[in-house]
Amino acid sequence: MKRNILLTLCLVLGTVSLLAQQVKSPNGNVELKFSLDGTRPTYEMSYKGKTVIKPSHLGLELAKDKHASRKYKETDLMDGFTVVDIKTSTFDETWKPVWGETATIRNHYNELAVTLQQKERTIVLRFRVYDDGIGFRYEFPQQKDLNYFIIKEEMTEFAMTGDHTAWWLPGDYDTQEQETQQTRLSEIRGRMKEAVNWGNSSVAVFSDTGVQTALQMKTDDGLYINIHEAACLDYATMHLELVDAKTTALTTKLQGNSNVYTPNPAPSAYPLPAPMTFVSHLTPDATGLKGAMQTPCETPWRTVMVSDDARDMLSSNLILNLNEPCKIEDTSWIHPTKYCGVWWEMIVGKSSWHYTNDFPSIKLDQIDWRSVKPNGYHAANNEKVKRYIDFAAKNGLDEVLVEGWNVGWEDWANMWKRDVFDFVTPYPDFDIKMLNDYARSKGVKILMHHETSSSTQNYERHLENAFKLMNKYGYDAVKTGYVGDIIPRGDHHFSQSMNNHYLYVIKEAAKHHIMVNSHEATRPTGICRTYPNLVGGESARGTEYEAFGGSRPDHTCILPFTRLQGGPMDYTPGIFVTKLSTWSDNPSWARITLAGSLALYLTMYSPLQMAADLPENYEQFDDAFQFIRDVACDWDDSKYLEAEPADYITVARKAKGTDNWFIGGKCDENGHLAVVKLDFLDKGRKYDCTLYADAKDAHYEKNPQAYTITKKVVKKGDVIKVKEAPGGGFAVSLIAK
């Protein structure tokens, strides 16, 4: 990786006047101002002269803590600051991701670093100003008087200029699998109850105006604003709490159906900011505290992306750029992957992860699996897995995910059970050696599955042996899962300690040359740049919810603006038979047309793409499945052609190492007329174009499987117009002749 980076580095260092505390982005569109409001650090931000963030305070409240440095141990990092140094610099570098939407990424920003002093303590506020937004973070140099400290709360403000439209998820310490809400900021409080999906396993809502990031907004004068974070490593995941007209104090009162009790720290002692201001709210650990810090250290980057063109929200690399370069020396074993798997039929309820119904609960060391009675519908059996391997081999899919292969599924979920899996013992009907040999003989790999049931202590105890087993049989990727409440008990999915755990697993996996696809983990913040073996993740409402009552048709037109800002999602697209009752007892149905399903392989960027439906369902529509066989999942270039949050997204991508392009367009329940100008093609070249479109009368509910396949030859400058049905979409392959 390192040797491939194209460096065009340019650093201008020097101390400037204390008055010149503002920095513009390289093209001048974005401007960042820093000042002291009395003694409180304050920033503001504008885009093309329009205010994006009004003056907003920066600071952290520290917990009273016997472990902290003795001096100032109870002094917050909120006020009492003077500016002692200011440095500006410029950085311009182009780097090559191991996998991604484009072959190279330019990282070009102007930087302002403000050193602040509070008595004997110093901190640094570092701002990076890009053409499409800003990132800033708190840095804590090593010093005698700020050595160890505990964060009670980070108090970073984001003061909005008005009552914007926002696409938000309710703030929650453990899940981000709710449906996105679209409201004005002032309507968040009123919508909260409806927004919380109480059916989820571990809902822990902390405030009536708490929301998650990435938070996508749109102003009435046409600005798109997105608040998120980058490089959240050994730090708690950030939420945002909106101060609105009814707010009387920042609240940390936990409510929900979780019985994990989190102590509520005392309320903030500082004045409330003005209404329409978001204040950061970190995920606590079991003690209610938000972070244990040792200097030298820093917070993640807090990011504000902005543009007057929604497409820029999708093409931005700001979050990746704010992450550290790749730390894995040899990345040759990391590869994009198209896969199918023994999964959807269990999600739908037709077969099971577990092997027997003999016991109300099990203890792994007390069961002779050879002697128990099989339930007869255990999915991960030799015959079925071979069927999937055959299907993958025939259709050019790289891997086959198999869930439910290992003992422990009889009572795995929501029991707060510690010793739930050992990750190495297969059920009697899963012959691990035979199946891996069989897969290898067909040029296919099996994709490992490690459901942890959120018992991270148990997973860490077994991790090394689990990875050794994978190495032994040739598995090179693992899907991990974190369903249910965390063990160590009292902790939350998005806390500092859990974020450390996820990263620990990624690093240990890298030592074994294993790629990771982490489900129910914390939402990503671009760390796949640094650890590109993190090839995917869930951390949002995925396709599985189509079997749990369904997701709104606009869901996949929102995710690229929100969840995908931090990294690719293992959305598991490709449901062709959307009415599940046609092959199961499940009355749920997917709110998407078949052509729309194809579009997701483009609009939901990921180097890891599943063909999630059953082989027999694909075999009914083999002409449409051709697109899934053909489509790439790694790219030299990407062009976002059309975009509006929750309405539509159209994107064209150039397949890695080829001259072929693929185009996908996805829309909401209202349909969309996509107009695709092929001006990105090579001049003078001809392309075999195959268009997979919704048929005229297609509709995500009434007629989802009505599609047309059209072939023609196209060239640069041609225009393709496609009518997308309600809840529909289209896909195009352009093969260079």
Q: Minimum distance from CB of 415 to a second copy (Å)?
A: 5
- Residue 457 interacts with a second copy (CB under 8 A)? yes
Residue 91 or residue 504: which is nearer to a second copy going by CB?
504
**By the rule CB under 8 A, 270 interacts with a second copy:** no
- Dihedral sign for Cα atoms in the order 476, 229, 231, 177: negative
Q: What is the 3-state secondary structure (H, E, C) of 617-643?
A: HHHCCHHHHHHHHHCCCCEEEEEEEEE
Task: Give the span between the Cα atoms of 96 and 119, in whole angstroms.
Answer: 44
Residue pair 205/172 in contact by the 8 Å Cβ criterion = yes
Contact between 609 and 601 under an 8 Å Cβ cutoff? The reply is yes
CB of 553 to a second copy, least distance (A): 32
DSSP structural state of residue 286: T
Q: Is 698 in the site for a second copy (CB under 8 A)?
A: no
Please select the residue that binds a second copy; options are 15, 27, 257, 620, rule is CB under 8 A.
Answer: 257
Least spacing, CB of residue 285 vs a second copy, in Å:
5
Alpha-carbon span 486 to 385, nearest angstrom: 31
Alpha carbon separation from 448 to 300, 481, 574 (Å, rounded) = 31, 11, 21
| 94 contacts a second copy (rule: CB under 8 A) | no
For residues 140-169, which are near a second copy according to CB under 8 A? 142-144, 147-148, 150
Distances (CA, A) of 725 to 591, 622, 699: 12, 21, 6
- Asked if 507 touches a second copy (CB under 8 A), the answer is no
User: Which of 18, 50, 220, 261 is close enough to bind a second copy by CB under 8 A?
Assistant: 261
Minimum distance between the CB of residue 270 and a second copy, rounded to whole angstroms?
22
List of long-range contacts for 357-365, beta carbons under 8 Å, 24+ apart: 357/410, 359/410, 359/411, 360/411, 361/410, 361/411, 361/415, 361/417, 362/408, 362/410, 362/411, 363/419, 364/407, 364/408, 364/419, 364/421, 364/422, 364/425
Residues sharing a CB contact under 8 Å with residue 493, sequence separation 6 or more, in sequence order: 173, 174, 175, 202, 283, 454, 482, 486, 520, 521, 522
Q: Does 39 bind a second copy (CB under 8 A)?
A: no
* CA separation for the pair 301, 291 (Å, rounded): 15
The DSSP call for residue 160 is -
Interface of this chain with a second copy, residues 352 to 381, rule: CB under 8 A: 359-361, 363
Residue 456, both tokens? 């991270």
User: Rg (Cα) of the chain, in Å, rounded?
Assistant: 25
Of 2, 48, 50, 67, the one binding a second copy (CB under 8 A) is 67
Which residue in the list 544, 546, 642, 669 is annotated as catalytic?
A: 544
Binding mask 384-413 for a second copy (x = CB under 8 A): ---------------------------x--
Give the interface segment with a second copy, choosing from 35-43, 283-291, 381-389, 707-715 (CB under 8 A). Answer: 283-291
Nearer to a second copy (CB atom), residue 327 or residue 386: 327
Compute how many residues bind a second copy; rule: CB under 8 A: 48
Q: CB-wise, 17 or 361, nearer to a second copy?
A: 361
Give me the residue label for tokens 């939901």. 604
Q: Does 259 help bind a second copy (rule: CB under 8 A)?
A: yes
Binds a second copy (CB under 8 A): choice among 66, 70, 370, 721: 66
SS3 for 216? strand
Say how many residues make up the chain.
737
- Pick the binder of a second copy from 55, 190, 488, 615 (CB under 8 A): 488
| Residue 105 and residue 326 in contact, taking contact as beta carbons nearer than 8 Å | no
* Minimum CB–partner distance for residue 297 and a second copy (Å): 9
Give the burial class of 38: count Cβ atoms within 10 A of its Cβ; 0-12 exposed, 13-18 middle, 19 or more buried. exposed
Rounded least distance, CB 467 to a second copy, Å: 12
Write down the H helix ranges in 423-495: 432-441, 456-473
Residue 417 vs 654, nearer CB to a second copy: 417
Q: Is 294 in the site for a second copy (CB under 8 A)?
A: yes
Pair 81, 118: CB distance under 8 Å: yes
CB of 732 to a second copy, least distance (A): 48
CB under 8 A: which stretch of 282-290, 318-326, 545-553, 625-633 binds a second copy? Answer: 282-290
Which residues within the stretch 208-237 sit at the binding site for a second copy (CB under 8 A)?
none
Tokens of 693: 């479109």
Binding residue for a second copy, selected from 21, 295, 352, 690, defined by CB under 8 A: 295
Q: How far is the CB of 495 from a second copy (least distance, A)?
A: 9
Answer yes or no whether residue 451 interacts with a second copy by CB under 8 A: no
> Taking CB under 8 A as the rule, which mask of x and - marks residues 416-435 in contact with a second copy?
xxx-----------------
Counting beta carbons within 10 angstroms of the beta carbon of residue 615, is it exposed (0 to 12), middle (13 to 18) or buried (19 or more)? middle
Considering only CA atoms, which of 601, 653, 602, 594 is closest in space to residue 624?
594
CA 605/CA 603 separation, integer angstroms:
6
430 close to 378: Cβ distance less than 8 angstroms? no
If we measure between CA atoms, which residue out of 724, 554, 551, 723 comes closest to residue 647? Answer: 554
Residue 476's CB: how many other CB atoms inside 10 A?
A: 22
The token duo for 348 is: 């739908």
* DSSP result, 660-701: -EEEEEEE-TT-EEEEEE-TTSPTT-EEEEEEEEE-TT-BTT
Residue 363 or 685: which CB sits closer to a second copy? Answer: 363
User: Smaller CB distance to a second copy: residue 388 or 467?
Assistant: 467
Look at residue 18 and give its three-state secondary structure: coil
Q: Does 289 contact a second copy by CB under 8 A?
A: yes
Closer by beta carbon to a second copy, 69 or else 186? 69
User: From the CB of 294, what's the least distance to a second copy, in Å?
Assistant: 6
Among 153, 157, 285, 451, binds a second copy (CB under 8 A): 285
Which of 94, 102, 287, 375 binds a second copy (CB under 8 A)? It is 287
CB of 137 to a second copy, least distance (A): 18
Find the shortest distance in angstroms from Cβ 480 to a second copy: 17
In the list 2, 48, 50, 64, the residue contacting a second copy (rule: CB under 8 A) is 64
Give the shortest CB-421-to-a second copy separation in angstroms: 14
Q: Which is nearer to a second copy, 223 or 232 (CB)?
A: 232
**Smaller CB distance to a second copy: residue 285 or 312?**
285
Contact between 415 and a second copy per CB under 8 A: yes
**Residue 585 Cβ vs a second copy, minimum distance, rounded to whole Å:** 22
Residue 263 near a second copy by CB under 8 A? yes
Using rule CB under 8 A, residue 198 touches a second copy: no
Residue 461 lies near a second copy (rule: CB under 8 A): yes
Phi, psi of 43 (to 5 degrees): -135, 160
Active site residue 31: no
Q: Does 414 bind a second copy (CB under 8 A)?
A: yes
Nearer to a second copy, 159 or 487 (CB): 487
Report the catalytic residues.
Answer: 544
What does the binding site for a second copy look like in residue numbers (CB under 8 A)?
63-67, 142-144, 147-148, 150, 257-261, 263, 285-289, 292, 294-295, 359-361, 363, 411, 414-418, 457, 460-461, 464, 485, 487-491, 497, 500, 504
